[in-house]
Amino acid sequence: MPLDEKAKAVIEDAIEVMGGEKRILGMKDITISRRYASFEDIIRHRMPDRILRESNFPWASLSVGYDGSRSWVKATDGSVSYEEGMSAAVQWLFHYVDTLLLLRLLTSEASVEHLGGKSLVYFEEGEMVQKPVFLIRVTFPDGWVFRLYFAKDKFLPVKEEYRHTVHQSRYVECYFNAHKRFKHILLPQKIYELNPFSRAIKRVRVNYEINKGLHRRSFNIPAQVQVEESQKKVGG
Domain coordinates in residue numbering, the chain: 5-215
pLDDT, residue 38, reads 87
pLDDT, residue 21, reads 96
Contact 64, 89 (CB under 8 A): yes
Count Cα neighbours of 69 within 13 Å in the Cβ-side half-sphere.
0
The CATH superfamily of 5-215 is Lipoprotein localisation LolA/LolB/LppX (2.50.20.10)
Contact 152, 134 (CB under 8 A): yes
Upstream peptide bond of 48 is cis (omega within 30 degrees of 0): yes
pLDDT, residue 228, reads 46
3-state secondary structure 1-29: CCECHHHHHHHHHHHHHHCCHHHHHCCCE
pLDDT, residue 103, reads 96
- What is the widest separation between alpha-carbon atoms in the chain? 70
Which one, of 191, 220, 175, lies nearest residue 65 by Cα? Answer: 220
pLDDT, residue 227, reads 47
Which one, of 53, 59, 156, lies nearest residue 97 by Cα? Answer: 53
Q: How far is CA 22 from CA 9, 61, 73, 232, in A?
A: 17, 37, 34, 56
Q: How far is CA 16 from CA 25, 146, 182, 212, in A?
A: 12, 21, 15, 23
Per-residue pLDDT tens, the chain, 236 aa: give them.
Answer: 588 999 999 999 999 999 999 999 999 999 999 999 889 999 999 999 999 999 998 888 999 999 999 999 999 999 999 999 999 999 999 999 999 999 999 999 999 999 999 999 998 877 889 999 999 999 999 999 999 999 999 999 999 999 988 876 668 899 998 999 999 999 999 999 987 777 788 899 999 999 999 999 999 999 876 544 433 333 33
Give the containing element (helix H, strand E) for 126.
Answer: none
pLDDT, residue 2, reads 81
- pTM of the predicted structure, to 2 decimals: 0.90
Count Cα neighbours of 84 within 13 Å in the Cβ-side half-sphere.
0
pLDDT, residue 236, reads 34
Q: How far is CA 143 from CA 104, 111, 140, 168, in A?
A: 18, 11, 6, 11
> What radius of gyration do the chain's Cα atoms show?
19
